[in-house]
Amino acid sequence: MIIAAADGSALGNPGPAGWAWYVDDTCWAAGGWVRGTNNQGELTAVLELFQATAHLDDELLVQCDSQYVINALTKWMPTWKRKGWRKADGSPVLNLDLMQALDEALRGRRYRFEWVRGHAGHPMNEAADERARAVAVAYQKGLDIPTGPGWTGACEPAVDVLVSPAPGDAADEASLDDRELHAGEVADAALFDFEDPAADWLTLSLELTAEEHTRLVERARAAGQSPEEFLRGLI
C-alpha cells in the first residue's frame, strides 16, 4: 500500500494557489497557479497523485483534510454523472474539468481516502500543506516554484515475491525471517542461494527501478497475472 497526503492552499481564496502530494521527503510534488481556489488545489493534488502512480498496482491510501474532496469522489460523483454532471438542484458541478479528470484517473484503481484534521499536527498532512502553501507564496511573491522531485525511482516499493523451492527439498521449522534473502547483500555470489531451502516458501526481496517496475507491471497485465505471479513464473 502507498500512503500519501494531498492538500491545497489558496491565499485569498481565490488568489495565488498551490497543490501538493507527499509520501516522504524524497517523494513529493507540488504546483499551482497565479490565481485559484483552495478546492481547486485540493482536487488537483489528488489528481496529480493518481496520475503519478498510474503505472502501479498498489492500493493507494490518500490522507486528505478536505471533506468536500472526499465526499465528491466517493459519494456525490455517481449521482452527478447520472444527472449529466449537475448537482441535485440542477446547477452545474463546480470544477467540472477536474472532476471529470479525476473520474477517469480513479477508474480501475484500488484506493481509499482517510480524512485527517488539517493544521492539527498530522505529520504527512502538515508536509503536504507546507509544500502547497510554499507554491502559493512563490506565485504571490514572484519566486521560483518549488515543484519537488515528483515520483522517482526512490518512490518505488520493493517487490516481495514468495518462491516455492524445488520438489523434494526438506523443510524444517526455521522462521521465514531467518531465511529472507536480499539481492543487494549477495554481490559476489549467485543472485539467490537455494543450497538449503528450509521451508515450503522462501521470501525474496527485489529492488527495482521505476522503469523496471513499469515493464514488470505491463508484462504481467499482458499475461493476465499480478506482478508477483508473473515474476514468480520467470524465476
At 5-15, the pLDDT tens digits run 999 999 999 99
42, 48, 126, 156: which is the annotated catalytic residue?
42
Q: Residue 113: is its pLDDT beyond 90? A: yes
pLDDT tens per residue across span 130-164? 999 999 999 999 999 999 999 987 687 655 444 44
Q: What's the CA gap between 220 and 139, in Å, rounded? A: 43
108, 119, 121, 195: which is the annotated catalytic residue?
119
Closest CA to 11 of 33, 31, 43: 33
Handedness of CA 215, 220, 226, 229 (dihedral sign): negative
Q: Which amino acid is at 124?
A: M
Q: What's the CA gap between 158 and 2, in Å, rounded? A: 12
| Residue located via cell numbers 458541478 | 93
Q: What structural domains does the chain harbor?
A: 2-151 (3.30.420.10), 156-234 (no CATH)
Cβ–Cβ under 8 Å, residues 112 and 63: no
What pLDDT does 224 receive? 55
Confidence of residue 185 (pLDDT cuts 50, 70, 90): very low
Q: Residue 226: is its pLDDT beyond 60? A: yes
Q: Residue 57: is its pLDDT beyond 80? A: yes
Is 213 one of the annotated active-site residues of the chain?
no
Q: What's the CA gap between 27 and 149, in Å, rounded? A: 6
Q: What is the mean pLDDT of residues 16-38?
A: 98
7, 48, 126, 156: which is the annotated catalytic residue?
7
Q: What is the mean pLDDT of residues 33-51?
A: 98
The set of residues, in sequence order, having a beta carbon less than 8 Å from that of 205 and lying 6+ positions away, is: 158, 159, 160, 180, 181, 182, 183
Share of the chain above pLDDT 90, in %: 64
Computed over every residue of the chain, the mean pLDDT equals: 81
Q: Which of the residue ranges 83-97, 189-203, 208-222 would you say has the lowest mean pLDDT?
A: 189-203
Is 7 one of the annotated active-site residues of the chain?
yes
What pLDDT does 181 receive? 32
Q: CA torsion, points 165, 167, 169, 172, in degrees to nearest 10?
A: 80
| pTM of the complete model beyond 0.95 | no
Q: Residue 175: is its pLDDT beyond 50? A: no
Determine if residue 80 is left, alpha or beta; phi over 0 gives left, psi from -120 to 50 gives alpha, anything else beta.
alpha
Confidence of residue 73 (pLDDT cuts 50, 70, 90): very high
Is 129 one of the annotated active-site residues of the chain?
yes
What pLDDT does 217 receive? 61
The x, y and z cell numbers of residue 31, run together, are: 504546483
Q: What is the mean pLDDT of residues 23-40?
A: 98
Confidence of residue 172 (pLDDT cuts 50, 70, 90): very low
What pLDDT does 203 receive? 47
Confidence of residue 78 (pLDDT cuts 50, 70, 90): very high
41, 129, 148, 213: which is the annotated catalytic residue?
129
18, 36, 65, 156: which is the annotated catalytic residue?
65
Is 12 one of the annotated active-site residues of the chain?
no
202 against 182, higher pLDDT = 202
